[in-house]
Structure 1
Amino acid sequence: MSRPERGGLLRRHRDFRLLWCGETAGTFGASATAVAMPLIAVSTLHASTFQIGLLTAASWIPWLVIGLPVGVWVDRLPRRPIMLTASAVSCALFASVPLATWCGLLSTGLLLAVALLMGTAAVFFQTAYRTYLPGLLDPDDQPEGNAALHGSASAAQIAGQGSAGVLAQWAGSVNGMLTNAAAFFATFFSLHAIRHREPAATIAARPRGALGEEVGEGLRLIARDPWFRTFALFSAASNLALVGYQSIRVVFLVRTVGLTPGTVGALIAAVSTGGVAGALLARRVGARIGTARATLVFEVGLAGCALLIPLTVAGPAVLLFVTGGFCVSLGVVAGNVIKASFQQRYCPPELLGRLTASSAFISYGTIPLGALLGGALGTAFGVRAAMWITTAGIPLAGLILLRSPVRWSRDLPTARPTDEAAETRVAPPAG
């Protein structure tokens, strides 16, 4: 079957186009929030470095607390209503911050509560969204769909992070949260317009066992498969380092380098352009040299550029921040495009929700730890020293891939052996 020309899927598939619009709008809102919330904490509430790290951690803690059962629920229920509910809740949460400010109720505690609830909604949305795509697209269209979604997400990050800094300087960080609320309203509207419905027979046929047993099934799937296990462990180590530096980069750029909020937003947006490049390059490089080799190029080869980031000082040397962050962003997004297509083809469809949630539990579970680590290191040793420690962890995480089957393969596999899948489904629960 010949490949459709790039962008063909967006033109010919109405429901995918709506999903693409909704996910892009949601990513815009979430990316703007990732800059706006720390700016509110720094400029309005004068929070400490540790409190800012705690704010980032709060939005990721729900993956540790409810991530595994959410994967089971997503496998049992229609995915689109879950995404609709999560986007509506996110819209209300973002709107609550300026409302609380106008009422004189804004505090660090309130921001932490909003971040925690926002993270809870994100667990439901992201788990449902990742398992919804394979039912919406034919297998041959899924790599193009993943590339389009990751590319638009990176572009939305550029716009969201850049606009957050500009809005913070023009209208104030708090009022900028209204833009984030409007973005999630657009997400809700786009998802509501999708005509595709999962067949009732398909939903009814999904296995329904004890919650604990099904949670264990997803974890055993990762533990017993060397490919799933490798990517889960690598993502956990990589996210620990990535979020460690990202949680304090606003503090680093504002207080250590001495930049204005508008410049901070522009620099972070420039870094995110690497994600757009990564989404565009992932399929091409994977087709030319093999998906496993491309994973090593993107996730290991470019990771060392992260060490340019702590060298940043005011003046022309801010380009070191952009260069290092651009390369890291390119590698991460390209690697995610390849990994997403691999998981959707390699995983048994009836276990995809549990795989998604179990992988997220392991890989996202280190994100709040990374955020707390960044804040703690910045408090104990200074922000620049903390940036050196956390960015050094990014290339070190690549050692996991170099000691795995990925190193010795040209391409990632496209299907699990039937007997392995069957063994995973009938294995007794751990313990």
Structure 2
Amino acid sequence: MHDTPAGHWHEPKAGQNAGFGSFKRAAMPYDRFMESEGIPVYRSIGARRMQDLPLAPWKRLGGRGTYIQLFGTEGLWGSYVVEVPGAGALNTDKHLYEKVVFVIEGRGTTEVWQDGETKRHVFEWQKGSLFSIPLNTNHRMINASSAPALLYCGTTAPNVMNVIDNMDFIFNCPYSFTDRFSGAEDYFKPKDDLEPDPVRGLAMRRTNLIPDIINTQLPLDNRRSPGYRRVEPFMAGNRFYLWIGHHETGRYSKAHKHMSAAVLLCVKGKGYTYTWPADLGMTPWKDGLSDKILRQDYEYGGIVSAAPMSGDWFHQHFGIGKEGLRVSAWHGPNNQRSRKAGKPGEQLIDAGAIDIKKGGAAIPYYMEDPNIRVEFAETLKKQGVESRMNPEFYDSTSSAADELGDVM
């Protein structure tokens, strides 16, 4: 016999299987990297307010921060919040992964430059700003106020680290991606022009900075709720996909299903999200399965994972404030349904915007669980907000039930 049998492989005997049978999931390189940074790692379905998450001193970046890995996003993309000290700055950063930044609180400037470049490109940001750091550029966040600033950052770090697993290369690669950052004077000048995105034809803005996504105008979309508005920012040549959407006051989104990746960030209003495994069906409350439904409440700065476990999950979003509900959905790279890999040229449908009875993945209002409508109305009443969910939305014989864009 071996003195250390655990260190040697043994061929199974007849009628036995090789291996342990059950095992603990191994930490990935990105998991180990987060733990090595010496700041908290927050794992959950979401958070009511990221402003309330615990922060710790961050030696590499400066300031204080915490990593965030919501359920369902593991290995798909990463995020963190970092506090820029009042009248101070973070350390210079540079990395071989994409980064998108939303300013939760504060105002300041960011400097961006390539290796060997003496000129620094500078732009300003404030509460509500959304911008992207070009791939592998040097950059530094500077606080223009005496109060701390708080930034929420989404990255493709897990995608890069879990393949390369060499931190020296990731943080010290000398290559300049001039196709991502040309150094043009107007690179960080906000651009308002709309165009159809090349995949689904939805409204898109090619801009590397939006000064204020809390109040920026959004074009009519109608795909999620009556009067719903939406735009996709295409930033810094990224594969990291995100959009900004707004539900009108007193109206809520139809439930729809897809696999994990999307995290919704509340940028205006307040509300709650329900999410449940698709195999529970469309009426889990009615069917006595309410104990298997997850709920996350949020307000400005809150986040929720739309599909927090494996497989398809239904999820539905409810704004209960007087200003409506504005969210930004972050999907990371190559995860959103229309951006996933597959056979090129294959015909797909915009399933999340098409009702289940028509082959899509959305639950029409008239097919949803009765509890949803009742609870929403009661919640609005407590908030002093009038419901604008017209009765015809729930009438299967009405054109308004299917063509929400005609009902404003």
Q: Normalised by the size of structure 2, how large is the TM-score?
A: 0.27
Which structure exhibits the higher relative contact order, with contacts defined as CA atoms closer than 8 Å and separated by 6 or more residues? 1
Q: Which has the higher strand share?
A: 2
Q: Which has the higher helix share?
A: 1
Q: Normalised by the size of structure 1, how large is the TM-score?
A: 0.26
